[in-house]
């Protein structure tokens, strides 16, 4: 199956700093990528849909200015958590869809565990 990578896998940062998480589709072009957040022992919650070359679409309740998403190319989307606080500590997972018609599946990255101290 297709491969999606995320970097870093784990990050610890101090409160008030910003953290950037990268999501790459390694062997296919993804016009659409998705960012999810998962708190311990809970389900995945969609934060935003990232579209190459256009602004991301955020889900209700997600702060656009806090979670900056940039889909700069067909293989890379980044999520920047700005002015992070301890409540932003979570597991962030991205996914990507192959071009329409090639697969029904969304391929997930391995996730990034963010801890804000």
Partner 1 sequence: AQKITQTQPGMFVQEKEAVTLDCTYDTSDQSYGLFWYKQPSSGEMIFLIYQGSYDEQNATEGRYSLNFQKARKSANLVISASQLGDSAMYFCAMREATKLVFGKGTKLTVNP
- Contact segment (CB under 8 A) with partner 1 among 20-28, 41-49, 60-68, 74-82 equals 41-49
Query: Which of 40, 20, 33, 28 has its CA nearest to residue 81?
Result: 20
20 near partner 1 (CB under 8 A): no
- Contact segment (CB under 8 A) with partner 1 among 17-25, 66-74, 80-88, 99-107 equals 99-107
SS3 32: strand
Sheet with strand 76-81: strands edge to edge:
4-7, 19-25, 76-81, 67-73
104 near partner 1 (CB under 8 A): yes
- Contact segment (CB under 8 A) with partner 1 among 13-21, 22-30, 68-76, 107-115 equals 107-115
Task: Report 72-91 residues binding partner 1 (CB under 8 A).
Answer: 91
Binding site for partner 1 (CB under 8 A): 1, 32, 34, 38, 42-46, 49, 91, 93, 95, 97, 104-108, 110-111, 113
């Amino acid at each position: 199956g297709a491969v999606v990578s995320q970097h870093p896998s784990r990050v610890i940062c101090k409160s008030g700093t910003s953290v950037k998480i990268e999501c790459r589709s390694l062997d296919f072009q993804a016009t659409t990528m998705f960012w999810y957040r998962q708190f311990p022992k809970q389900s995945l919650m969609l934060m935003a849909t990232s579209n190459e070359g256009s602004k991301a679409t955020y889900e209700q309740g997600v702060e656009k200015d806090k979670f900056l998403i940039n889909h700069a190319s067909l293989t890379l989307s980044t999520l920047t958590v700005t002015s992070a606080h301890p409540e932003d500590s979570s597991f962030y997972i991205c996914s990507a869809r192959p071009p329409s018609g090639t697969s029904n599946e969304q391929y997930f990255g391995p996730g990034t565990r963010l801890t804000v101290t």
